[in-house]
Structure 1
Amino acid sequence: MKTRNWALVIVLAVMFTVAGMGDSEAASYKYMTILTGGTGGVYYPLGGGIADVLTKKGISNVSAESTGGSVENCNLVGRGRAEMGFAMAGVCYDAYKGEGKFKERGELPIMAMMSVYPAPMHILVLDKSDIHQLSDLKGAKVSLGAFGSGTENMAKNILETQGITYDDIKTAFLSFSETAMGLRDGVVEAGFMAVAIPASAVLDLGSTRKVRFIPLTDGEIKKTLDAYPYYSEVTIKGSAYNGIGGITGDTVGVGVQNVLVCRRELPEDLVYNMVKTIFESQKKLLDVHQVASQITIENAVKVPIDLHPGAARYFREMGAL
């Protein structure tokens, strides 16, 4: 009897979850895919966690697929090869507008479900450094991230909006870990890292050196956001680093959102239920990756492209729109 009762509960749960969708619509999305990234990054484990909670909720049988990341994800979602995927805000903005790497293909039919977490730009120096503001970088040896990376592109954009070009600094193109080692060994004087909080490279350097972040002024933030609308103002909480490296205070700057995008034609009720489930399952997602602690209603609506109607309905109900 208990087995039959539990079976009835599960059936009813699935029925109510897909309520509002017609039978044909529900059947069309019995199986779905969320595109993630490389197995060593954040997208892959977090995407797997989201796939798991959506499947267990009975919304659909969702599988997570490892990919090359943002550009590939936008292309595949836009071409209808997958239902949703992660992408950095700048990439999904270009895909939506048919600009940058998507200029040849043109605008892609994608929409935003939510911003999942921000990747603040950490501008890192040793605590003893004479560099205290962006203008102090002139003449300094600065790591801008790996050449051609999202960090390097974003660092270049931030600097140029403030009238600082590569000709004004001594450039180095290093990975996050190489940047940390370069600061430790005095090879570079400052380093840019667009990465989720807490950044492991910062933690590693902070275990042996006192460090601090360079903040941006209100004017510098405004200039950057006016030029690049897919960036947003963010605060690096000192508490996220637990005093490691002497970091205690908050630092205001800019960051890039990591967005969950979806196909434009997905049914409104389906997207509504998926977004609702993600927020109701945050504790479970925290067991997958600590970055899930940064999933908030306030941050979720900071998207560079139009929200899907189903997502917008949920955020209106939550008072965020």
Structure 2
Amino acid sequence: MSAACRERRRVRGRSRAVAAAALLLAAAVGLGACAGPSAPGDARRQIAGGGTTGVYYSYGGELASVLHAQLGLDISVAETHGSVDNLNRVGDGRALVGFAQGDTAADAVAGRGEFADPLPVEAIARVYDEYVHIVVPADSDIRDISDLADHRVSLGAPDSGVQVIATRVLASSDVPLDRLDNPELGLGDSIEALQSGEIDGFFWVGGLPTPGIVELGEEMPIRLLPIGVDTVERVNAGHAGVYRIADFPVGTYGVEIPTATMTVPNYLIVARDTPKDLVTDITRTLFEQRPTIARQVAAAELLDRRQAIFTGPMDLHDGAVQYYRDARR
């Protein structure tokens, strides 16, 4: 990695530390005055989001705003590594709610994969479907997943759902991990490294469009590698059949070639012991404020009450069930 890239990370890390300190100070001042009657304990005043250039983070920020406006919750979005990190934060009480991929959520409730024991987490809603991105420069000689061998490819940040899916896709495509130089970068760092030529490609799993990749496509021509039906079927064979085949819409990120890929559902999750009335209020706000959130986050338009209840194998929280029952009346 170049000295310039290391310096960018050092400066960015310092900035994040300052921002985090400011957030903690603001929270300490405001906890007593801003929280509404349904507010949970102080340790849970966060929405577990993701990297700042991804959909989780932007969706979480808008959700925090409407929860504050509608319920008086003193809550903010937290930058995280993604699904695995989010599930752990919600499970141990560091976050009130969070976003998680359906495949990683299935592992969490079963206590397998990255989770040594089952986590006490449940779902509020199936929010939208995420698309698996494999991004390379448009002029790259990498044309297929098998071509990734012997290249520098980021499989996502540690404790991310991206890394879970990337390793499954590679295994189903007969690309051994030891044939890759994998620097384990989050989305923002992956984008920077691709722009500087320090990596040859990266995996990402997120809603459409992902803001950071939109910006990348505006700054340099990129291409998306296809993930075919056979690969999706092989991945599904060992992982609960949660994956589906889909196409990136033509024109996404400036890519004009139809590209097949794999999708996975995304859930909004909460700890099992979260008060029922609070979860009902959060679920109602999520749906009633969808138009407000969607003005800033396109993926919010995909929230559909008829589909939201399908979160298996993760159970719906009783508070969410109460909302869906009330909504049918």
**TM-score when normalising by structure 1:** 0.68
Structure 1 residue 182, shift from structure 2 partner = 5.8
User: Where do residues 145-160 of structure 1 align in structure 2 (5 Å cutoff)?
Assistant: 145-146=155-156, 148=158, 150=160, 151-160=162-171
Structure 1 or 2, whichever has the larger Rg, is: 1
Provide the C-alpha distance between the structure 2 equivalents of 1:98 and 1:130, rounded to a whole number of angstroms.
40
The match for 1:64 among 52, 76, 79 is 76
Query: Per-residue displacement from partner, 1:272-319 (whole Å, max 9, x unpaired)?
Result: 453233122112113454443443447645535122345356668989
The match for 2:249 among 224, 237, 251 is 237
The match for 1:261 among 269, 274, 277 is 269
**Paired residue for 1:87?**
100
Structure 1 residue 183, shift from structure 2 partner = 5.3
**Paired residue for 1:279?**
287
Query: Per-residue displacement from partner, 1:129-181 (whole Å, max 9, x unpaired)?
Result: 4544333444x5241335635334422221102222124x4434264456556
**Paired residue for 1:203?**
214
Asked whether 1:311 is paired with 2:320, we answer yes
User: Where do residues 1-321 of structure 1 align in structure 2 (5 Å cutoff)?
Assistant: 30-32=38-40, 33-37=45-49, 40=52, 42-58=55-71, 61=73, 63-64=75-76, 66=78, 68=80, 70-71=83-84, 73-79=86-92, 83-103=96-116, 106-138=117-149, 140-146=150-156, 148=158, 150=160, 151-167=162-178, 169-173=179-183, 175=185, 176=187, 179-180=190-191, 188-207=199-218, 209-229=220-240, 232-233=243-244, 234-241=246-253, 244=254, 247-266=255-274, 271-297=279-305, 300-301=308-309, 303=311, 304-312=313-321
> Secondary structure at 1:248's aligned position in 2?
coil
Which deviates further from its counterpart, 74-83 or 216-225? 74-83
> Secondary structure at 2:243's aligned position in 1?
strand
Amino acid of the structure 2 residue aligned with 1:263 = A
Query: Does structure 2 conserve the Cα–Cα contact (< 8 Å) formed by 1:52 and 1:62?
Result: no
Provide the C-alpha distance between the structure 1 equivalents of 2:280 and 2:247, rounded to a whole number of angstroms.
29
Query: Per-residue displacement from partner, 1:173-216 (whole Å, max 9, x unpaired)?
Result: 26445655665676655432234433455434433544321222
Structure 1 residue 116, shift from structure 2 partner = 2.9
> Secondary structure at 1:155's aligned position in 2?
helix
Distance 1:279 1:237, change over 3 A: farther
Provide the C-alpha distance between the structure 2 equivalents of 1:210 and 1:116, rounded to a whole number of angstroms.
30
Provide the C-alpha distance between the structure 1 equivalents of 2:263 and 2:120, rounded to a whole number of angstroms.
25
Which deviates further from its counterpart, 210-219 or 303-312? 303-312
Q: Point out where structure 1 has 5 or more consecutive residues left out of the alignment.
A: 1-27
Structure 1 residue 250, shift from structure 2 partner = 4.4
Query: Does structure 2 conserve the Cα–Cα contact (< 8 Å) formed by 1:93 and 1:230?
Result: no
Q: Point out where structure 2 has 5 or more consecutive residues left out of the alignment.
A: 1-35
Amino acid of the structure 1 residue aligned with 2:52 = G
**TM-score when normalising by structure 2:** 0.67
Structure 1 residue 72, shift from structure 2 partner = 5.4
Query: Per-residue displacement from partner, 1:246-284 (whole Å, max 9, x unpaired)?
Result: x13443322444421123245666544532331221121
Query: Per-residue displacement from partner, 1:90-116 (whole Å, max 9, x unpaired)?
Result: 54333322234431xx32321111233
Provide the C-alpha distance between the structure 1 equivalents of 2:50 and 2:199, rounded to a whole number of angstroms.
28
RMSD between superposed Cα atoms in Å: 3.9
Distance 1:230 1:47, change over 3 A: farther
Provide the C-alpha distance between the structure 2 equivalents of 1:170 and 1:71, rounded to a whole number of angstroms.
22
Provide the C-alpha distance between the structure 2 equivalents of 1:236 and 1:74, rounded to a whole number of angstroms.
27
Structure 1 residue 221, shift from structure 2 partner = 0.8
**Paired residue for 2:4?**
none
